[in-house]
Amino acid sequence: MSTALQRTLAIWMVLLVAALLLPLPHWVAIVMLVAGLALLLVATRVTRRPARSETLFGADDLPDADYRQPVVLVCGDNVQEWPESAGVLTVPHGCWVRVAAEQALDVMVRQLLSCRPAWGSQLSVMICISPQQQQDRDLLSNRLLALRWQVCQLRRETGYSLPLALYVWVGSALVNQALWQAQLAGKPTSLWSDNTPPSSPERWLTAGGSMALQQQVLMTSLADWVRQEVVAVLTDPDADMPCATPVCIVQGLNASHDDALTTSLWTRWLQQHTALVQVAGWLPASESNQARPSLLPESVLPLLPKGRGLTPCQRACRGALWTVVMAGVVALCCSAWNNHQLLQRVAFDIAHYERIAMTDYPQKAAAIGVLHQDAAELDKYARHGAPLRLGLGLYQGGHLRLPLLEVIRSYVPPPPTPLPPPVENHVESIIRLDSLSLFDSGKAALNQGSTKTLVNSLVGIKAKPGWLIVVSGHTDNTGNSALNQTLSMTRAAAVRDWMRDTGDVPESCFAVQGYGAGRPVAPNDTAEGRALNRRVEISLVPQADACRMPGNTLTPSQEDGVDNNLMEK
């Protein structure tokens, strides 16, 4: 799994946790998950590379998959003869893999990892350069920049450190066998040959005498050239790519060099820095009967990383662990945020309720309703457990439950609204009787046909305690007003007497009034109006002490249910 794919998977995991735990609308959570899944699919498709049909090395020549020695990919100038039809050379302390074309370094690494996935932590790259084979400085710089870019890309894609080693050698007549000098970061410089163990330059000079001094001068000049012409290109900060600092720089002197050029970057550099055209020992011997030895510095192999890193399975487990840890951190942060929001909301509702005056009953009732909703929510969490977005051991709502209930208990409801006093329906029944149907003209005595009229008209008049039967007489304005007043009074009394005698109603139930022409109901200008004004009116008027039976005092509750038949005998 590439680094980009791992990062995308981690991002999708974080989005998943956030969508599940954050209080987001459902559509927002769905959009987040779909976007994260689409990003994951795109990253998987981009990082998946088609397999090449042509391999750049023989997989059968590689060591077994459990091989844990350093595996070094050698690119650059050819330094020795490789086995026929194979680009893999296995030695006791490691394995050399030849990269025939420098531009195919990234392809070689990918194919090697596809064949041996567990070798990622033990891979290294060695760039071999012989200044005696180079004539164009710009061409060499371009080759180094191309290799630098490939190494940086491989480190980013594979996630492995992929250490870079640098091997520079020249041929010289000053040596009769291969001589190497190594510079490792944080360690002193050491020299050695095929027959001598590594030692410091001081000890080498002491043991070798004047010849060793000449060799050391040439070796120091080679180190200066490497630093100025090679290392400076690989570590130039102005380039649009990360630096590729070598972890190990090996310089070598060899007695023979079949591909050495008479005029090369090496000879020109020596001439510029020594002002000498030619010095004995700058070039290797013109003729050599020895077989071409191996110029690869095998003593450097123990210094390169071995297969002690993580296997692909372990790397996947580590990525999964980091993803779970990241998701857990996001989940804890979301839970803490949700609990903070819950506490802040409930505290705000309580403070809002307490700020409202007790006399503001509508606002107080609305605020107490909100507190009841908060209490119901906290009770639900207390009975059934807090939801996942508030859980993970961070739920704090239980601390607010009791204070919230105390605030709710302190609520004083508004006093009940007093009921309006009952409105008594004072039913005032008024019955109007035409005087001409009861009396003869100018007379106050009931005529013979009045009985039927009185019985039919007064059937709804009932005597009962607390009600007064008012009988009032009225006349028109014809004649003397005093006589009309007396006549109206007399006629009202006659009707009262008939009702009293007929219904056996006590005297206290009646009131008699005579108004004469004082209360007309119609104009007296016409005969019809005067006929309407000649009348007797009978009405019921409420009065507390009216219509009481002698010796019987009734309570108000009894008055309402008194039997009217007692008075209607």
pLDDT tens, residue by residue, 406-436: 888 887 787 777 767 665 554 456 788 877 7
Nearest to 40 by CA among 2, 68, 96, 77: 2
Task: Give the 3-state secondary structure percentages of the chain, helix then strand then coil, rounded to 5.
Answer: 50, 15, 40
b/e code 72-107 from CB counts within 10 Å (16+ = b): bbbbbbebeebeeeebbbbeeebbbbbbeeeeebbb
Q: Give residue 448's pLDDT.
A: 77
pTM of the shown model: 0.50
Q: Which CATH class is domain 431-542?
A: alpha beta
CA dihedral 49, 50, 52, 58 (to 10 degrees): 60
* Residue 254 burial (CB count, 10 A): 23
Write the CA distances from 368 to 30, 401, 567, integer angstroms: 36, 15, 61
Give, as one character, the DSSP assignment of residue 526: S
Helix runs in 427-480, H state only: 435-438, 450-457
- Which amino acid type is present at position 484? N
DSSP 201-269: HHHHHHHHHHHHHHHHHHHHHHHHHHIIIIIHHHT-TTSSS-----SEEEEEEES--TT--SS-HHHHH
Q: What backbone torsions phi and psi does residue 461 show, to the nearest 5 degrees?
A: -85, 115
Burial, 402: exposed, middle or buried (Cβ in 10 Å; 0-12, 13-18, 19+)? exposed
Span between the terminal Cα atoms of the chain, in Å: 116
How long is the chain?
Answer: 569
Query: Tokens 């790519």 — which residue?
Result: 241
* Residue 478 burial (CB count, 10 A): 11
Give the whole-angstrom CA distance, residue 167 versus residue 79. 10
Write the CA distances from 428 to 460, 461, 468, 559, integer angstroms: 12, 11, 10, 18
**Per-domain boundaries in the chain:** 3-48, 71-309, 332-410, 431-542
Evaluate whether 131 touches 265 at the Cβ level (below 8 Å): yes
Residue ranges for the chain with pLDDT beneath 70: 1-24, 26-29, 33, 36, 40, 43-59, 79-86, 239, 275-283, 285-295, 307-315, 419, 421-429, 459-464, 548-569
* Residue 238 burial (CB count, 10 A): 4
